[in-house]
């Protein structure tokens, strides 16, 4: 008669964790659906592009390491607010990459690279 008791003890935490899992799933699904913005309309996208042609590129490809204001420094990324590079040197780094920064020559068109390099000049002020 000891066996069912033992199993009961084993089952209890299992049930609890399954319940917890369900609760967590429901909570995170709620969080995700609250956090996602409605897809941007073409007009909004164009407005972003018009603000600065490099801004869209920056938001898409650079924010992960450099942050929205250039100073995040994730993965050892340099602070773009404090950079002393000229625009030509930036274009070279973005095109060819440097150390852990990935090259973008196969990802972006040359005009996108110069646009995004120019956009990062804004961080200096
Ligand atoms: C995977 C992370 C990562 C991404 C994505 C990334 N960078 Fe970098 N970036 C770095 C790292 C790391 C360095 C420092 C490289 C080194 O150690 O020489 C750097 C350096 C730079 C520099 C040189 C700064 C200086 O003062 O020398 C510029 C300019 C730059 N990044 C711009 C960009 C732009 C523009 C993009 C988007 C097109 C971008 N980076 C995307 C990680 C990243």
State the pLDDT at residue 75. Answer: 85
State the pLDDT at residue 19. Answer: 62
Same domain, 55 and 90: yes
Same domain, 32 and 58: no
State the pLDDT at residue 82. Answer: 95
- Listed as ranges, residues in the chain with pLDDT below 70 are 1-40, 44-50, 125
Number of domains in the chain: 2
Q: Which of 62, 68, 99, 117 to mutate to test the pocket of ligand 1 (most atoms within 8 A of CB)?
A: 62
Ligand 1 center from residue 55 Cα (angstroms): 15
Please give the number of the atom of ligand 1 that sits closest to the Cα of 100: 12
61's tokens: 């490809």
Ligand 1 center from residue 15 Cα (angstroms): 48
Domain region containing 81: 42-124
Q: Are 113 and 99 in contact (CB under 8 A)?
A: no
Same domain, 31 and 46: no
Pocket flag, ligand 1, residue 76 (CB < 6 Å): yes
State the pLDDT at residue 63. Answer: 96
Same domain, 55 and 17: no
CATH of the domain at 82: 1.10.760.10
Each as own residue / partner, the long-range contacts of residues 103-109 (CB below 8 Å, 24 or more positions apart, any chain) are: 104/61, 107/61, 108/57, 108/61
């Amino acid at each position: 008669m000891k066996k069912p008791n033992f199993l009961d003890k084993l089952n209890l935490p299992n049930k609890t964790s399954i319940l917890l899992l369900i609760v967590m799933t429901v909570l995170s699904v709620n969080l995700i659906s609250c956090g996602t913005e409605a897809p941007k309309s073409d007009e909004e996208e164009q407005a972003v592009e018009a603000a600065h042609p490099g801004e869209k590129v920056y938001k898409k490809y650079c924010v992960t390491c450099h942050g929205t204001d250039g100073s995040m420094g994730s993965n050892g990324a340099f602070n773009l607010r404090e950079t002393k590079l000229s625009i030509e040197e930036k274009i070279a780094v973005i095109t060819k990459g440097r150390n852990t920064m990935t090259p973008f020559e196969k990802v972006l068109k040359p005009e996108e690279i110069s646009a995004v390099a120019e956009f990062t000049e804004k961080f200096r002020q």
